[in-house]
């Protein structure tokens, strides 16, 4: 009678698994959004819904490409800032010509990377959109 009035989980089930069985169980749990292994086992046991993470290979590739592009654009931005700072400090014409040439080189690099980004986004949008 006392057990009927208890609330919560108080019953324990001992379960022995092989390494392979536990590996499969753990793998499924880690792919899911369930925080605790015990909750995952209960959901599997009682046929409740389990949300699973899935990965999209094209999205992973896009993210990797965008990380590289972000680094390149950041480096170009730093070079732009340095160029503008130096141009403001210069008072001699010959030094100014060197920095203008560097600025033009960085500008061309920026537009080249921007064009790559545009082409990559167009390619991905053609894949994703019917």
What is the distance between the alpha carbons of residues 85 and 92, in angstroms, rounded to a whole number?
15
> Domain ranges in the chain?
15-54, 57-128
Contact yes or no for 69/117 (Cβ under 8 A): yes
Tell me the pLDDT band of 41, cut-offs 50, 70 and 90. very high
Q: Where are the alpha helices (DSSP H) in the chain?
A: 2-5, 19-31, 37-45, 57-89, 93-128
More confident residue, 37 or 102: 37
84 vs 49 pLDDT, higher one: 49
Backbone φ and ψ of 4, nearest 5°: -65, -30
CA distances from 79 to 8, 31, 75 (A): 62, 43, 6
């Amino acid at each position: 009678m006392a057990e009927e009035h208890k609330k919560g989980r108080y019953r324990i089930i001992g379960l022995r698994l092989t390494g392979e069985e536990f590996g499969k169980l753990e793998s499924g749990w880690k792919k899911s959004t369930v925080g605790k292994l015990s909750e995952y086992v209960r959901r599997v046991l009682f046929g409740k819904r389990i949300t699973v993470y899935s990965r999209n290979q094209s999205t992973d590739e896009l993210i990797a490409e965008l990380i590289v592009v972000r680094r390149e654009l950041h480096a170009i931005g730093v070079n732009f800032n340095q160029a503008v700072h130096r141009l403001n400090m210069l008072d001699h014409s010959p030094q100014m010509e060197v920095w203008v040439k560097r600025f033009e080189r960085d500008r061309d690099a920026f537009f080249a990377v921007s064009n790559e980004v545009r082409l990559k986004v167009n390619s991905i949008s053609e894949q994703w959109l019917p």
